Chain A
Amino acid sequence: MKRRKDREMERQIRSILNQAEMEEGDWGRPEEGRKQETLAFLRAQRRKIRLRPRKSFAERLLDQASWLSPGVWLGQLAVPVLFCLLLGNEGLEKRDTLLVLSACAPLPGVIGLIELLRSWQSGMWELEEACRYHLQQIQGMRLLVLGIADSAGTAVVFAAGLLNGYSAGMLLLFFLFPLLVSDSVFLLLAGVFRRGAKGLVPVLAGLGMGIFWIYQASWLLDVLDMLHVLESYRSLPVLAALLFGGLGLLAFACARFLNETGKEEQRLWNCA
């Protein structure tokens, strides 16, 4: 009963407020003369401004791509070629090939990390923050460009692997998963180090990840060998979990990195 009464009262309040809105007519209306005067003034001000036409998303992406250093593009091109040569090398045993593939999986990430960290070196952060798009947007665009380049490279490596008799599961276990995890770790590190990350940090991070993946791949190869499933491992739930887990981790790392980038100004001015 009380609830019904409450609802009825609320309906009445809404109706009174809505009615007030309908009949407000004159009370909150500016005088016509004053309004026209202001509009004329604003029109005159508007004529003075010159807006630069906004670029489309694709144009902005191409812009950012052109600002990436040539070294990055060379690296992005050289790494898949290197992997393809490795996968096509018949002189190496499959086990050794997979070990090397795992150890080198962080390479594209190291190249990307060096490029992203350039934004904090030699006063670049302040310069980029003062640009038309602030640093968070710029870094977001760069991440996207590097991500597209990485995806293309990965597709090439997968195609080369499949053509040379490696299963998709093997390539996921020994190449894609290490690549996704390494990229995530690098992004998380970049968010932590920011301007402190200079010179050796990406190289050391890459070396550390490379050594980790050698050990991990060696252990995994032993386990799969012991179970006699090295060539035929196709457990879909495990592979799917690794793939989506890796992608999820990478998405989290990207978001975290961009969030940390956005906080840069606040940190600088608060001397944090």
Chain B
Amino acid sequence: MKDGRAREEWKDSELTARIQRGETEYLDLLIERHYDGIFRFCLCKTGDREAAYDCAQETFLHLLRYLEAYTEQKKFKAWLYRIASNVCMDYFRKEARAPAGEDALETLWKEDAGFEQIEHRELVGTALNQLSENQRETIVLYFFHGFKLREIAEITDAKMSTVKSRFRQGMEKLKAYMEKESGERREQDR
């Protein structure tokens, strides 16, 4: 590139523009860049590592299939996560399963953690389990994937006001849970 930046530094929009001009080899870079995030998102949604591998792969296959339908007006990352969200919903439909249950997320959070991290993760995992599926998805996308509320509305196909209310209610629930937790800890310390 003329400005001398490494390919890895190119923005998604620059890559998609090149891909749409026919330089499809840049798709590899785009897929590599987003694979971990999409995998983690699918893991949060399905609560199962094997299902997350399948859903992540399916998401990128959908990307290859429907890339022509992508328009620059949409943020690429939000569009990709929207595909992932739909793929996960399809997975639940096919498997006749419900989205990730109460304990699945908590177990995953604790999995592979070092001893010192377990307590912290347990707290976050249990706190997130206090939320409904929609509230959890909103909080996870906001804090763990760095999306803005407007983009979350796009990904989840919900109105902006609905996303705001899910976010606010989720934060309220987390606050109530943390207050209860800190109260209990103070009691135990005494």
Contacts and interface: CB of A to CB of B under 8 A. Distances in A.
Interface residues of B, number: 45
B158 interface: no
Contact of A42 (B52, B57, B124): B57
Interface in B34-91: 35-36, 39-40, 43-44, 52-53, 56-57, 60-61, 64-65, 67-68
B171 A38 contact: no
A174 B61 CA distance: 58
A18 B127 CA distance: 14
Given A26-B112, A28-B40, A10 B175 contact: yes
Contacts of B24: 46, 49, 51
A228 interface: no
A28 B110 CA distance: 10
B123 A30 contact: no
A30 B56 contact: yes
B105 to A, nearest CB: 10
Contacts of B53: 30, 34, 38
B55 to A, nearest CB: 11
Contacts of B36: 28-30, 35
Interface in B122-149: 123-124, 127, 139, 143-144
Contacts of A35: 35-36, 39
Contact of A13 (B21, B39, B56, B171): B171
A12 B178 contact: yes
Contacts of B64: 42, 45-46, 49
Contacts of B25: 46
A52 B68 CA distance: 8
A53 B20 contact: yes
Contact of A16 (B111, B124, B179): B124
Contacts of B61: 42, 45
Contacts of A26: 112-113
Contact of B28 (A12, A14, A46): A46
Contact of A6 (B35, B60, B108, B175): B175
B113 A27 contact: yes
A59 interface: no
A16 B20 contact: no
Contacts of A46: 24-25, 27-28, 31, 64
24 contacts: A9-B179, A13-B178, A16-B123, A17-B144, A21-B144, A27-B121, A28-B39, A28-B40, A28-B43, A30-B39, A30-B56, A35-B39, A38-B57, A38-B60, A39-B28, A41-B57, A42-B57, A42-B60, A42-B61, A46-B25, A46-B28, A49-B24, A51-B68, A52-B68
Interface of A: 6, 9-10, 12-14, 16-21, 23-24, 26-30, 34-35, 38-39, 41-43, 45-46, 49, 51-54, 132
Q: Which 8 A-B pairs have the closest CB atoms?
A: A28-B40, A54-B20, A53-B22, A17-B143, A20-B124, A30-B39, A26-B112, A46-B27
